[in-house]
């Protein structure tokens, strides 16, 4: 039996996993602001608490790692750049550890336990503060040469010099419009008051024009970016996960319209748009299979 860890910017979750079932789970708020050594101690202690004498541990992180487990970038948990997360956890736990980007891990969970049972080549777009991507082609997970494949949130959708600046430093990235950070900023700009994504979704469902417009803009940005992905890869499904995917019905019409406007051939625009069946469990389930 393996343990999967979902190391998020706000919570760390560990689960003992048997196939597609989480049989024991523990979670805590992430010690953000604490030195990396303390956060790694916290992860190791959660792994011990789920127990069950695991044979290996997989960890999903909201950033990029190389094949050896060294972290390139972890924007929401400071201090981890250059830290070899795999070596540090192996030393603490005395077990083999694998570390992978969380969107890539979610794609692995989807491949084994979700829409991968019916689809061979698909992208999992994780919609949250930012927008991540994980890629499966011909039934195999693809991470790229350095683990940076499918960083779809940073595909360019607005090349004008006045486009909003992204957390990556460039202007006009898709996640500036399709991430919850951008969604909330745009709603505040249009409505003149702030609201959380779930409240904006509820307003949109009740017919609030500003709320409906920000979701339509989100769908359009996703569709423009994914239209380019379809020209490159001709996938047979696009899967959407993460918190905001609960509001997918608000995004879908403009997403489909933008795909149709951008696509090279009709079949690539009519690709099935699916919501992940794994929900919150995708990170832990996928990580346990790394």
Among 86, 154, 186, 220, binds Zn ion (CB under 5 A): 154
Q: Which of 16, 6, 224 minimizes the C-alpha distance to 105?
A: 6
Q: Which is nearer to Zn ion, 13 or 154 (CB)?
A: 154
Residue 163 binds Zn ion (CB under 5 A): no
Give the integer Cα–Cα distance in Å for 204 and 199: 9
Residue 150 binds Zn ion (CB under 5 A): no
11 burial (CB, 10 Å; 0-12 / 13-18 / 19+) is: exposed
Within a 13 Å sphere around the CA of 207, how many CA atoms are in the beta-carbon half?
0
Residue 166 binds Zn ion (CB under 5 A): yes
Q: Which is nearer to Zn ion, 69 or 130 (CB)?
A: 130
Tell me the CA distances in angstroms from 10 to 6, 27, 126, 197, 205, one per residue in order.
10, 11, 16, 17, 28
Helix 209-233 to helix 180-191 angle (10° resolution) is 140
Instruction: Tell me if 2 sits within 8 A of 288, measured CB to CB.
Output: yes
Q: Which is nearer to Zn ion, 174 or 278 (CB)?
A: 174
Burial 156-188 (b: 16+ CB within 10 A, else e): ebeeeeebeebbeeebbbbbbbbbbbbbbbbbe
Residue 251 binds Zn ion (CB under 5 A): no
Q: Which is nearer to Zn ion, 29 or 164 (CB)?
A: 164
Q: How far is the CB of 153 from Zn ion (least distance, A)?
A: 6
Q: How far is the CB of 235 from Zn ion (least distance, A)?
A: 22
Q: Which stretch binds Zn ion (CB under 5 A): 96-104, 151-159, 183-191, 205-213?
A: 151-159
Q: Which stretch binds Zn ion (CB under 5 A): 139-147, 169-177, 208-216, 277-285?
A: 169-177
Q: Which is nearer to Zn ion, 45 or 76 (CB)?
A: 76
Tokens of 99: 């570390």
Q: Which stretch binds Zn ion (CB under 5 A): 152-160, 181-189, 200-208, 278-286?
A: 152-160
Q: Which is nearer to Zn ion, 109 or 182 (CB)?
A: 182
User: Phi-psi category of 115—alpha, beta or left, where left has phi over 0 and alpha has psi -120 to 50?
Assistant: alpha
Task: Scan residues 170-189 and list those touching Zn ion (CB under 5 A).
Answer: 170, 173
Q: Which is nearer to Zn ion, 210 or 225 (CB)?
A: 225
Q: How far is the CB of 130 from Zn ion (least distance, A)?
A: 8
Q: Which is nearer to Zn ion, 93 or 152 (CB)?
A: 152
Strand order in the sheet with 11-18: 21-29, 11-18, 2-7, 57-61, 97-101
Give the integer Cα–Cα distance in Å for 76 and 63: 8
Q: How far is the CB of 179 from Zn ion (least distance, A)?
A: 9
Residue 168 binds Zn ion (CB under 5 A): yes
Instruction: Tell me if 278 sits within 8 A of 21, measured CB to CB.
Output: no
Q: How far is the CB of 240 from Zn ion (least distance, A)?
A: 19
The residue count for binding Zn ion (CB under 5 A) is: 5
Binding site for Zn ion (CB under 5 A): 154, 166, 168, 170, 173
């Amino acid at each position: 039996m393996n343990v999967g860890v979902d190391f998020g910017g706000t919570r760390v979750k560990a689960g003992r996993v048997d196939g597609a079932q989480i049989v024991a789970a523990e979670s805590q708020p992430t010690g953000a602001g604490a030195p990396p050594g303390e956060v790694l101690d916290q992860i190791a202690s959660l792994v011990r608490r789920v127990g069950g004498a695991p044979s290996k541990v997989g960890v999903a992180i909201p950033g990029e790692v190389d094949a050896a487990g060294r972290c390139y970038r972890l924007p929401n948990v400071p201090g981890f750049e250059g830290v070899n997360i795999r070596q540090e956890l192996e030393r603490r736990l005395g077990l083999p550890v694998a570390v992978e980007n969380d969107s890539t891990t979610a794609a692995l969970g989807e491949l084994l336990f979700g829409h991968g049972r019916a689809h061979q080549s698909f992208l999992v777009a994780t919609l949250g503060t930012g927008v991540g991507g994980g890629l499966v082609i011909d039934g195999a997970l693809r991470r790229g040469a350095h683990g940076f494949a499918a960083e779809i949130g940073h595909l360019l959708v607005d090349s004008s010099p006045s486009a909003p600046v992204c957390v990556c430093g460039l202007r006009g990235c898709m996640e500036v419009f399709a991430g919850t950070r951008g969604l909330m900023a745009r709603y505040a700009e249009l409505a003149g008051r702030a609201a959380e994504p779930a409240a904006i979704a509820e307003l949109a469902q009740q017919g609030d024009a500003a709320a409906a417009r920000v979701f339509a803009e989100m769908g359009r940005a996703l569709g423009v970016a994914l239209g380019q992905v379809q020209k490159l890869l001709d996938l047979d499904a696009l899967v959407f996960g993460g918190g905001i995917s609960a509001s997918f019905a608000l995004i879908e019409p403009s997403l489909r319209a933008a795909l149709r406007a951008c696509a090279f051939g009709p079949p690539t625009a009519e690709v099935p748009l699916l919501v992940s069946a794994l929900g919150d469990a995708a990170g832990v389930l996928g990580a346990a299979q790394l």
